[in-house]
Structure 1
């Protein structure tokens, strides 16, 4: 496989030379094939080892010397940068990458720009310079989209997710702050859309495995790690195997099978040494040390930490970070991305809304401003009480009363808006407009129910879910004019109170989904309608399940809700609370939602 790849690359360059590209009038006929060859070649650069990279770079430089072709010069610099990166010479890699980027801008060679930015981002991330890493990943995605380069779009999305993940781990943030898993699944879906992106799936399997491992869901971590290892083995992606075996080993170790766990991590170390990846070897030494340290086996942890520090010092990581940052800042200050700005073509979409909807939003914004002002007044009063040294218990009681009053006012104001929408709806002759007003009123009614529960509770930050669901169901049935005796409703709630930060979006999600059931699931449907609503809690998450026996919801309606504002709103609210949804279409529709519990370090 190795010799075949070298032969391919060498023959490709010879063919390009023989084609006469760069020799006067013959260039136009071969330009498309030549550019495609270079673009394919940069993909090969990412798959070759250190020695083969030097051969490719030499051939590209020879081609440039003979034909003075600037594109081959850009790719040669990029290939040299990859070589220095694999050798853990991060400062040298950054110099060649900046040189490649400068040449690409100067000669308007667009195709490799995304690849260059991804390498620059990787170099910054590996030296913990996350601000510059995020900036480079964003530029890579922007260029890839402008070039309509799906392969690099997938790569840039994966890189951005990896940087988010590294940022959370590096600064010791709560796992709840990590939103990279959504980007990982989104990019994986794109990679699985065509067989030609098969190689790109490996890193996503491994990154998802790492996420579940850190979440403590070791079974899922093992499942995704094994999928990645199987594909990486088939494709001979040895560097990727170091990640797969690492996450697999950590998952087994922390699950309790320490012997199997250390066996897989040692296998990852062996592969990283074999392919001459000192930086990756350093990371794996630290992983092994951390595993032993987590189980209190300091005697075994110390040798691996010593090896980690030895490689860390030899690579001069801290000085690399400073030098690389100075290199890119110097380049960015002089260039200011003028050429990239010229490539940008934006399109704006404008939509018109009905006057009654605009008026409703304005009224709601005015009411919200009043409530914010009232809340600020309450905070100032509390500060005054603190300045006067009133006892903590007295402050808590007064704050509780004020918060309850605030929720009472919110509830009253929301009911006013609901009443206004009801009056407007009654005057509407257009059925679509009337239905839109009714749906908006029901959403406001759902928020009103939550605030009503808050001001009646002893703790003004907690919502009683049993009471909320009972009132919400009655409100929805009443709005649709449905008799409770005409439908089977089963409510199974084993959790009492939920914090308002979760309860508010969760309540709106339930309102939207149940409303959609009555609007669509039982439309033109014969039989006795049935709905099951269940809310429970585990040690790590809150579980919601809503099942109906209606006509069923196609998966496409969930994946691409082009005409459904309700589904779009549900997805937005799910993302707000970091939830993981699941839709099942079997004798009706089952909606499942897992919401991770917020923890603090």
Structure 2
């Protein structure tokens, strides 16, 4: 297989080389570099247009050579007090700083020019606003980016502007998908196979990021088919430059398909696609797709880690792997932690895990308040729509049940009629045919009901998923508020609130992951809840032994949520207060027993330092105790505290 891939690469390279040589024979070699051509131009206007229209300007001379040369021209223009020439070189300099990656410097220069935008011609305005749009996108200032695009539309530079890339950067992938389909689909001609490939590849990207992996993979396969057809056409027309772009797009599609297979845990299927993508990007990407190369390298290293081929994993998961984005840095540290854990190097595993956690903690602090408000608003709209759909489905289900009952009544009447018409042959035939007809109707209604029930389960899972996501958003907002609060008491209260929100979010997560949406298996839920609490209170590391006895205990959501919040309070208190010495002898025991037809029993205990002597007096003022007592009341019971044992013991019976 690898030999065939190498032969195909050689063939495509020869075709591209032939096209380039053909073009070289048609176009005379000037013998000058792009930089020299720029220097030899006579006027600022010519240099301005040449710079903006030249894409490979840094191929022979470094970006700093260009910056130094432009600064010389700019100083000369300042000495001549030529305002128009100054503006042109200032815009060129802003573009160079953007190419350098110094987006703040570039944007500062662009904003100074923007103050006089009314004085510029339409071409200058369009280039200035395009630069500002790009810089705001790189700086993740998406509200500002929206303002620039609205200004582009208002100035008439373009009839219609797009926002799907902004929606995607905000994590609103479904909104981005809808906007992309609306804006792009109607512009693609049916026989434009390259555009079709780009279109379905982009659809796949939005769906993959939205974790709709099977549907994303279907779109990538469509994109693969279109680009294959285009490559065959490009080979016949010998269009070398366009063919190189198509080969690169083919590699990107392969990488995206590989990432889908990784998400589906089909690691052996993912590896050939990822290897082909990495090879193509290195050959045809011209160093401009480092993020794609990094994502594919991280994905293939994850495949080899899961397949326990650690040597190949480390070939891709190297220290010199460029990780510009926060997501890639987090993923790289996570994979390194997994690698060292699998190779029993626990010290390095812990070190990279701590790096991952630090980066994750810093991410939430970088979110702007306006961005969070935009995301929350859209999610509320989506939730309202989902509620309307569920209500409609409930009405349809009720209607189907009523029709089923009506059909059953009709069937009973037919049977009675059939019994009384046995005296005559005609009556017998009529009743028989009627019965067959009604049975068919009943079968159709049964199918409709079963289909409605399946759709209802899917919608309920989607609702629980969205509720979990909304609760996570609330938790993120609380984290953001915590970082902006100086009061220690307020920070503690916000952290406790965030922990309680996570406990409720975990309930909804368990529900939509369950086949049975009516109950929650408590053993797994308690383990996940404790892991969540540990992530907050065990950063230093308490060596606490935790015993959970809740096997085969299932509770509905009305009882699971109070249980989860009570456990969250108890476990949090234990981690915070029960073991101040951290001597390694800490122990927590959780027991839930439930036998059908009998009263259930809950017990929580630890062997810590116990409760303070004035606990009973603090009962009315302690938020945690008041909350636990109210939650116990919801379970139609009362919380009992045993102080006679070592540590503390809580227990109660419930129905």
Give your verdict on TM over 0.5: no
User: Which interval holds the TM-score relative to the shorter structure?
Assistant: 0.3 to 0.5
TM-score normalised by length of structure 2? 0.37
TM-score normalised by length of structure 1? 0.40
Give the structure with higher Rg (CA): 2
Work out which structure has the larger RCO, using CA pairs closer than 8 Å and 6 or more positions apart in sequence: 1
